[in-house]
Amino acid sequence: MKLQQLSLFLENRPGRLEAPLSAIAAEGINILTLSLADTAQFGILRLIVRDWEKAKRVLEQAGWVVNLTEVVAVDVLDRPGGLAEALRILEDADLNIEYMYAFSLRRGDKAILIFRFEDPDRAIQVLTEKGLHVVDGEELMSFVP
């Protein structure tokens, strides 16, 4: 149920984001979603890709520092309150979110939330019990052409 997320260290200056993205594009690896957290001086690029093992190899060979993290994807209705509802469930269950980001799918009315939890296994259990749909890797790939 858990997804493998790659994260990269980037310096925060013009052109730095383009380089790793080009590197994996050149290998024909499809990016499902990405998120960028940054400070004035550096940033962390987080990626979910179709073939993470290959992407990791490609990026590392090009000299990037790459980390692998397990994250959890949840789909919610893409309408006002959809996110809030999911967050409330997590809060009631006292689950600690280290960070999160969201993306909308091209088709349909669903949005996907990506969470990094302190305890992903317990999170998956709670979310499933509360009737939320945890999206696994295969399903996520199927959303994207």
Partner 1 sequence: MMSVNSTMTNQAHPMWDRAAETMPRAEREALQLERLRAQVERARRVPFYRDILNHRELGPHSIRSLDDVRRLPFTTKDDMRRQHPLGLLAVPRKELARIHGSSGTTGKPTFVGYTANDLQTWSDLCARFLVAGGLRPEHTAQVAFGYGLFTGGFGLHYGIEKVGAAVIPVAAGNTRRQLEIMRDLDPEVLICTPSYALTIADTAREMGLEPRALPIRIGHFGGEPWTEDMRREIEEQLDIQAFNNYGLSEIIGPGVSGECQARTGMHIQEDHFLVECLDPETLEPVPEGEPGELVITALTREAMPMIRYRTRDIARLYRDPCPCGRTTMRMSRVTGRTDDMLIIRGVNVFPSQIEEALLRVEGTTPHYLIEVSRPGTLDEVHVKVEIHPEIFSDRMDRMQALCERISREIQTVAGIRAHVDLVEPRSIERFVGKAKRVLDKRGLTD
Minimum Å distance from CB 18 to partner 1? 14
**Could you say which of 3, 46, 75, 114 contacts partner 1 (CB under 8 A)?**
46
Distances (CA, A) of 119 to 6, 10, 92: 18, 27, 15
Minimum Å distance from CB 65 to partner 1? 5
Is 36 or 105 the residue whose CB approaches partner 1 more closely? Answer: 36
Minimum Å distance from CB 44 to partner 1? 6
Per-residue contact flags (x/-) with partner 1 for residues 47 to 66, judged by CB under 8 A: ----------------xxxx
**Could you say which of 22, 25, 27, 42 contacts partner 1 (CB under 8 A)?**
42
Residue 9 binds to partner 1 (criterion: CB under 8 A): yes
User: In this structure, how many other beta carbons lie within 10 angstroms of the beta carbon of residue 118?
Assistant: 10
Give the closest residue to 35 by CA, choosing from 61, 63, 6, 56.
6
CA atoms within 13 A on the CB side of 67: 10
Q: Are 144 and 73 in contact (CB under 8 A)?
A: no
Minimum Å distance from CB 132 to partner 1? 24
**Amino acid sitting at position 88:** R
Q: How far apart are CA 105 and CA 114, in angstroms?
A: 13
Binding site for partner 1 (CB under 8 A): 5, 7, 9-11, 16, 37, 39, 41-42, 44, 46, 63-67, 69, 98-99, 116
